[in-house]
Chains A and B, each alone.
Chain A
Amino acid sequence: MFKKILVANRGEIAVRIIRACKEWGISTVAVHSDVDADSMHVRLADESVCIGSHQPQNSYLNISALMSAVDLTGAEAIHPGYGFLSENAKFAEITTKHGIKFIGPSSDLIKKMGDKIEARKIAKENGLPIIEGSSERIISVVDAKKISNKIGYPVLIKAAGGGGGKGMKIVNKPDELEKLFSQAKLEAKKYFNNDDVYIEKYFKNPRHIEVQVLSGKNRTIHLNERDCSVQRNHQKLIEETPSPVIDEKIRSNLLNQTTQMVHNIGYEGAGTVEYIYQDGKFYFLEMNTRVQVEHPVTEVATGIDIVKEQIWIANKGDTTLTQEDIKPRGHVIECRINAEDPSKNFQPSPGIISVCHQPSGFRTRVDGAIFQGCKITPYYDSLICKLICQGRNRTEAIQRMLRALDEFVIEGIKTTIDLHKKILSHKKFVSSDFDVNWLSKESFY
């Protein structure tokens, strides 16, 4: 096994990875920006290195500073977490070239899956259903018009290098196409330095369903699906497993086809294949070549520690798990606690946490990096903590989550705790009668 791992991330995911390393008996190196010197991941790690100033490009995105930290501490592997450099093919390539193990798939696969047009092609070649649309990048408005007429309006223009909803344009009518097409290209160039765009049919009210996989050189297994349809601006807020809206036949098709595709491409490590689901059919959206924020939902249901398995596969190449080992139990829900004020249009709420009491109790898990007196700075993502509850069924999971949310006390900053209480008691959530656009239409305040 590795002797020392450098965690190239911050916040709750850095803490999560350090915990997994400790259980494997691996020493840990935390890296941090100047403003994060007192944060939880720095306190928990065996060693820490300050790699730059508060702006991400100077610290957590600074490849040369990270490589210097590796050199300085003698770490053998890097865990990138999620966000920051986790899906940066160049970073994976540089670490590998220097004889440092990147905990994730090969840089080649990261690159292919990062290009959404290429990922679409791979999915199609491997038998996954894809959304009707262009198979190549669209260069001219003439081509855009042709393809849009063929698939029928509304259509969605997406950036090949995209993510997080940026560079995405919904075109409802033919006369809007020309303007939105050039806007999408400009935004794609601006955000991703790549103005390649493609066009797909737009789905009005889909659910977001994804499949968690673990893959070694020897075999690929799935850890069932997660349903992440409570979203705001393409950001997930609540995730659950199993999906309350798909039947056994659709589920087994989805899981088997996904496992086959991931096996075919020679994927190594943990990954997630995302789909949209509408009218009884699922369609490939993209593949995330990293651990995801909502991975604890699957961990709690299956009893498999995904991060520890990631590290194992990175070190040994193979996975010791078989599909028979995966026996999910009950229903699991996760609520993301963000430092935002939902009553003021989710305005960021940095500050000092003056009182912090985290819930606990039966089948209640908290993954976070917060403590009483800690400072939530405005420089990074607003996610501060995740609350995960399991029940024998969905009803019990909701009841337990509401109980745990009631116990949760965070003072000094505004959080999404109160909003979660409102959502979980809403009749639409209770009856699973919602889609990814529900939250933006519903008024809770």
Chain B
Amino acid sequence: MKINKKIIEELVGYLKEFNLSEIEYSEDKTKVKVSRSLNNSSTVLHEIDKNKTDTKKNIDTSLKVTSPIVGTAYLAPEPGAKNFIEEGQKIKKGQTIMIVEAMKTMNHVPSNHYSIVSKILVKDGEPVEFGQPLISVK
């Protein structure tokens, strides 16, 4: 059996052109199926490379306190009140650093470090995801 290279090349061309992961072509008794994993495609690789260089650029080894739950972050115990913490402030382990509200339940987020707040990473009233860094400490 002779494989027609041209058909394969043409099909690969279509895969890329229409951004497909799989294409099947049949003619008489010949059936050609070409597939590719989108994860290995050049565009994704390019993005990963970019991410790599990004992390190299700003090496961030600082410790973070992350959100224990998805919800809305509040920096102060109530509107108009003083914020739980300020940048540059010393904090104790277990001290409340902010509140994350989920389904009308107010969850106090404690610090897991005895340290100094270097940066508050979220704004008051901002939606936060599980595991999202809320503050960085040093």
Q: Mark B38-77, 1 if CB is under 8 A from A, else 0.
A: 0000000000000000000000000000000111100000
Chain A nearest CB: distance from B51 CB in Å?
A: 25
The residues in A between 375 and 389 inclusive whose CB is less than 8 angstroms from any CB of B are: 378-382
Q: Is A342 an interface residue (CB 8 A)?
A: no
The residues in A between 178 and 205 inclusive whose CB is less than 8 angstroms from any CB of B are: 190
Contact A350–B70 (Cβ < 8 Å) = yes
Contact A382–B72 (Cβ < 8 Å) = no
Chain B nearest CB: distance from A122 CB in Å?
A: 29
Contacts of B78 in A (CB 8 A): 190
Contacts of A347 in B (CB 8 A): 69, 105
Contact A55–B103 (Cβ < 8 Å) = no
The residues in B between 87 and 138 inclusive whose CB is less than 8 angstroms from any CB of A are: 101-105, 125, 127
The residues in A between 351 and 382 inclusive whose CB is less than 8 angstroms from any CB of B are: 378-382
Most buried by A among B71, B102, B127: B102
Contacts of A340 in B (CB 8 A): 103
Contact A379–B71 (Cβ < 8 Å) = yes
Contact B104–A381 (Cβ < 8 Å) = yes
Contact A382–B103 (Cβ < 8 Å) = yes
Instruction: Determine the distance from Cα of A350 to Cα of B104 in the docked complex, in whole angstroms.
Output: 12
Interface size class of B (residues with CB under 8 A): 10 to 19
Contacts of A382 in B (CB 8 A): 103-104
Contact A54–B103 (Cβ < 8 Å) = no
Most buried by A among B69, B72, B78, B103: B103
Contacts of B105 in A (CB 8 A): 347-348
Contact B103–A348 (Cβ < 8 Å) = yes
Instruction: Determine the distance from Cα of A339 to Cα of B105 in the docked complex, in whole angstroms.
Output: 12
Contact B102–A350 (Cβ < 8 Å) = yes
Chain B nearest CB: distance from A80 CB in Å?
A: 18
Dominant SS at the A interface?
Answer: loop
Contact B127–A381 (Cβ < 8 Å) = no
Contact A350–B125 (Cβ < 8 Å) = no
Chain B nearest CB: distance from A60 CB in Å?
A: 13
Residue from the list A35, A55, A190, A378 in contact with B102, Cβ < 8 A: A378
Chain A nearest CB: distance from B110 CB in Å?
A: 16
Instruction: Determine the distance from Cα of A35 to Cα of B71 in the docked complex, in whole angstroms.
Output: 12
Contacts of B70 in A (CB 8 A): 350, 378
Across the interface, name the chain A residue whose C-beta is closest to B104.
A381
Q: A190-B78, A339-B103 are in contact. Are A378 and B125 (CB under 8 A)?
A: no
Across the interface, name the chain B residue whose C-beta is closest to A54.
B127
Contacts of A55 in B (CB 8 A): 72, 125
Contacts of A190 in B (CB 8 A): 78
Instruction: Determine the distance from Cα of A340 to Cα of B69 in the docked complex, in whole angstroms.
Output: 13
Contact B72–A380 (Cβ < 8 Å) = no
Contact B69–A379 (Cβ < 8 Å) = no
Across the interface, name the chain A residue whose C-beta is closest to B79.
A57
Contact B127–A348 (Cβ < 8 Å) = no
Contacts of B102 in A (CB 8 A): 348, 350, 378
Contacts of B69 in A (CB 8 A): 347-348, 378
Chain B nearest CB: distance from A237 CB in Å?
A: 15
Contacts of A379 in B (CB 8 A): 71-72, 103, 127
Across the interface, name the chain A residue whose C-beta is closest to B68.
A347
Contact B103–A381 (Cβ < 8 Å) = yes
Contact A380–B125 (Cβ < 8 Å) = no
Chain A nearest CB: distance from B79 CB in Å?
A: 9
Across the interface, name the chain B residue whose C-beta is closest to A338.
B103
Across the interface, name the chain B residue whose C-beta is closest to A346.
B105
Contacts of B125 in A (CB 8 A): 55
Chain B nearest CB: distance from A192 CB in Å?
A: 13
Chain A interface (Cβ < 8 Å from any Cβ of B): 35, 54-55, 190, 339-340, 347-348, 350, 378-382
Extra contacts besides A348-B102, A348-B105 (5): CB < 8 Å: A54-B72, A347-B69, A347-B105, A378-B101, A378-B103
A-B contact pairs, 10 of them (CB 8 A): A190-B78, A339-B103, A348-B105, A350-B71, A350-B102, A350-B103, A378-B69, A379-B71, A379-B103, A381-B103
